[in-house]
Copies of this chain bind each other. A is one copy, B any other.
Amino acid sequence: MSEPLFNKIALVGIGLIGSSLARVIRERNLAGTIAIASRSAETLSRARELALGDVYADSSAEAVREADLVIVSVPVGASGQVARDIADSLKPGAIVSDVGSTKKSVIEQMQPALPQSAHFIPGHPVAGTEHSGPDSGFSTLFDGRWCILTPLPGTDADALAALIGFWRACGSMVDRMDPDHHDLVLAIVSHLPQIIAYNIVGTADDLETVTKSEVIKYSASGFRDFTRLAASDPTMWRDVCLNNKDAILEMLSRFSEDLSSLQRAIRWGDGDKLFDLFSRTRQIRRSIIEAGQDVDAPNFGRHAAAEGQEGAE
């Protein structure tokens, strides 16, 4: 077996992303030792039962000692606290990265707390599912997905190359981006869809005229698609909303403007306008499938997934 990429990798946080990393690191031999830290005793004990790492610690300071690479996978609002917790225990030359869905706020929280002797390189693997916790991870989560790194000016080239190598070994394709631009891009491709999904599910839940049981029974006509995103981890998403406020508010206001215009077209029976919008959106779907970022199978291939699963398509 070839040498692992790193002697020791510390994973701070072991939810969907952290536990997927643990699995792919193990499977592809990317670390001599995997150290796992979680603030939650229950989560840590579950990680141990799943044998996700080699050593387990309830303190992140303990876990990061002697680590060459530290990946922080916690809700973005907790990033600053983790940075303060680990600062004094980091080995000189250690690479510290994260997986948060907002980058400007994570940098503002973590950078001031971390020592100069460590290489802090913010990152964001654009991958996930609606499930959370250490049981939900899987080793192929990052395969064919993008990981965006937002290195700060003056970042050590070797450290950056090592982190890029790590993500590639995890199956990702790697992009570099300015943190501000990252936050704007993610606001439209991730945060806005997520907020809209939560909102529409909330609207349906509140109706007095249509029962919850009706919403559930007939959800296959479209609604169910939104419930997947709306089943995501509430803490993670609360933190994203609080930590990418400006970009999210900008996208929300564009969305609402467009929706008002669409609403007006419906009210006044402007069929041509509706047809035009409904036609041009088809092309984007096609491009996403061609780029390998979704499957072509109808209904996301639910049919195949449910073979043998009674009652579902």
Which residues does A use to contact B, with CB under 8 Å? Answer: 101, 126-131, 136, 140-141, 143-146, 148, 175, 184-186, 188-207, 209-210, 212, 214-232, 234-235, 237-238, 241-242, 245, 248-249, 251-256, 258-260, 262-263, 265-267, 269, 271, 274-275, 277-282, 284-288, 291-306, 309-313
Least distance between A151 CB and chain B CB atoms (Å):
18
Contact of A190 among B195, B222, B230 (CB under 8 A): B222
Decide yes or no: A189 and B219 within 8 Å by CB, A198-B262, A313-B144 being known contacts. yes
Least distance between A228 CB and chain B CB atoms (Å):
6
Which residues of B lie under 8 Å from residue A298 when comparing CB positions?
Answer: 129-131, 136
Which residues of B lie under 8 Å from residue A229 when comparing CB positions?
Answer: 222, 225
Q: Can you list 10 A-B pairs, Cβ within 8 angstroms, ordered by A?
A: A144-B312, A189-B210, A203-B254, A216-B284, A225-B228, A227-B281, A230-B281, A231-B286, A300-B302, A301-B306
Contact of A245 among B269, B288, B292, B294 (CB under 8 A): B269
Which residues of B lie under 8 Å from residue A238 when comparing CB positions?
Answer: 271, 274-275, 278
Which residues of B lie under 8 Å from residue A202 when comparing CB positions?
Answer: 258, 262, 277, 280-281
Which residues of B lie under 8 Å from residue A198 when comparing CB positions?
Answer: 262, 277-278, 281
CA distance A197 to B193 in the complex (A): 9
A300–B303 CB distance below 8 A: no
A266–B295 CB distance below 8 A: no
Closest residue of B by beta carbon distance from A263? B252
B309–A295 CB distance below 8 A: yes
Least distance between A2 CB and chain B CB atoms (Å):
25
Copies in the complex: 2
Give 5 closest A-B pairs by Cβ, nearest first: A301-B305, A292-B311, A129-B298, A190-B221, A234-B278
Decide yes or no: A249 and B263 within 8 Å by CB, A269-B242, A302-B294, A304-B304 being known contacts. yes
Decide yes or no: A214 and B189 within 8 Å by CB, A206-B258, A275-B238, A309-B295 being known contacts. yes
B216–A287 CB distance below 8 A: yes
B127–A220 CB distance below 8 A: yes
Least distance between A56 CB and chain B CB atoms (Å):
25
CA distance A145 to B287 in the complex (A): 30
Which residues of B lie under 8 Å from residue A204 when comparing CB positions?
Answer: 188-189, 284
Contact of A227 among B126, B235, B267, B285 (CB under 8 A): B285
Closest residue of B by beta carbon distance from A207? B188
Decide yes or no: A293 and B220 within 8 Å by CB, A255-B200, A284-B204 being known contacts. yes
B292–A203 CB distance below 8 A: no
Closest residue of B by beta carbon distance from A204? B188
Least distance between A98 CB and chain B CB atoms (Å):
16
Which residues of B lie under 8 Å from residue A145 when comparing CB positions?
Answer: 220, 313
B218–A285 CB distance below 8 A: no
Contact of A224 among B223, B251, B293 (CB under 8 A): B293
B140–A303 CB distance below 8 A: yes
A219–B269 CB distance below 8 A: no
